[in-house]
Amino acid sequence: MLELNVKNETARLRAVILGIANSNGAVPQPKECYDPKSLQHVLAGTYPKEEDMIPEMEAVAKIFEKYDISVFRPEIIENYNQIFSRDIAFVIEDKLIKANILPDREKEYLAIHHVLEQIHPENLIQLPEECHVEGGDIMPWNEYIFIGTYTGEDYSNYITARTNIEAVKAIQKLFPHKIVKPFELRKSKMPKENALHLDCCFQPIGKDKAILHKNGFLIESEYEWLLNFFGKENVFEITKDEMYNMNSNVFSISESVIISEKSFTRLNTWLRTNGFTVEEVSYTQIAKQEGLLRCSTMPLIRD
């Protein structure tokens, strides 16, 4: 059996589900796009090709191997996008919570049944139907659970609004001993204005540091809270272009080792200056679908 354990974003990783780019399917029609960035690339004729994405993901698998991490992959569904394993479920403490994702994506959850079968059934949680949630919005951080959400009355008008207030309340109920802290995210059909998930504009790293983008937050005081919580000197502020390029969507193997996209030169320099080991990969094709390293990984066990 798998003894799930995830209490924060940066403790030493032992087991993870990494998405897969094989048999990724045809270029979607504009009306099938779930996010503004994918739509932008479909319309421009620059949507990523399967043969370019597979090596990007396999490079991450190799880094996990190097650090002796158990890696699970989804079963391949023919002609289907299974890259972003973070969307379909997430682990907090010893519970795996199934994300109530867009109905079209239900198959993705079923494709990890070989992992689910190794988890104690009482630790598999299905939220009530009215709870909308995706793993990119959920960040366990020790005594806190940070959650990206959108509570505007126009929630249903935005396909980019992925986690609702019902989900926030349900998670608070599941983990009464935690401080659940929601953050209102900026939702937009314009790629450079939209924070699809919390990890598109914020991520804790190391023991006490964070990557942050102010404009991703709808309410300035919530952004200020994070800035004060980590301390200005511990925060790497990213620009609008860096947010668009997913600079906050790196992935921590431990408190000192981070996998990052090699083109993030300003960020990677800052990380190294602050004592991190940076494992660089090319993820530019994956990024065209508004997701990067954190989106394509789902940690199961951290020390």
Confidence of residue 89 (pLDDT cuts 50, 70, 90): very high
Split at pLDDT 50, 70, 90, the class of 191 is low
Name the phi and psi angles at 236, rounded to 5.
-100, 110
Mean pLDDT to the nearest integer, 274-290: 94
In this prediction, residues 31-60 reach a mean pLDDT of: 87
Q: Residue 241 and residue 92: Cα distance in Å, rounded? A: 31
C-alpha torsion 94→136→111→39, nearest 10: 180
pLDDT for 194 equals 81
Domain ranges of the chain: 13-302
Q: Strand, helix or coil at 162?
A: coil
Q: In this model, does residue 211 exceed pLDDT 90?
A: yes
* Predicted pLDDT at 274: 98
What's the pLDDT at 243?
93
Output 157 or 67, whichever has higher pLDDT. Answer: 67
Q: What is the pLDDT of residues 99-114, one digit of tens each?
A: 887 677 789 999 999 9
Look at residue 36 and tell me whether its pLDDT is greater than 90. Answer: no
Residue 35: per-residue pLDDT = 72
Among all chains, which residue has been given the structure tokens 């299905």?
Answer: 126
pLDDT (mean) for 227-236:
98
Average pLDDT of span 135-160? 88
Report pLDDT for 160: 62
pLDDT-derived band at 149, boundaries 50, 70, 90: very high
**Res. 289 pLDDT band, cuts 50 70 90:** confident
The average pLDDT across 184-191 equals 83
User: For the domain with range 13-302, which CATH number is right: 3.75.10.10, 3.40.228.10, 1.20.120.140, 3.30.160.150?
Assistant: 3.75.10.10
DSSP 29: P
Average pLDDT over residues 227-235: 98
33 confidence band (pLDDT: 50, 70, 90) = confident
Rounded to 5 degrees, φ, ψ at 112 are: -110, 25
- Please give the pLDDT value at position 39: 83
Residue 303: exposure state from Cβ atoms within 10 A (0-12, 13-18, ≥19): exposed
Give me the pLDDT at residue 255, please.
98
Single-letter code of the amino acid located at 165:
I
Residue 159: what pLDDT?
A: 65
- Amino acid 37: pLDDT: 81
Arithmetic mean of pLDDT, 143-150: 96
Arithmetic mean of pLDDT over the chain: 93
The model's confidence at residue 92, banded by pLDDT at 50, 70 and 90, is very high
Identify the band that residue 154 occupies on the pLDDT scale cut at 50, 70 and 90: confident
* Three-state DSSP class for residue 224: helix
Q: What angle do CA 117, 122, 128 make, to 5 degrees?
A: 100
**What mean pLDDT comes out for the span 22-35?**
82
**Per-residue pLDDT averaged across 67-91, rounded?**
95
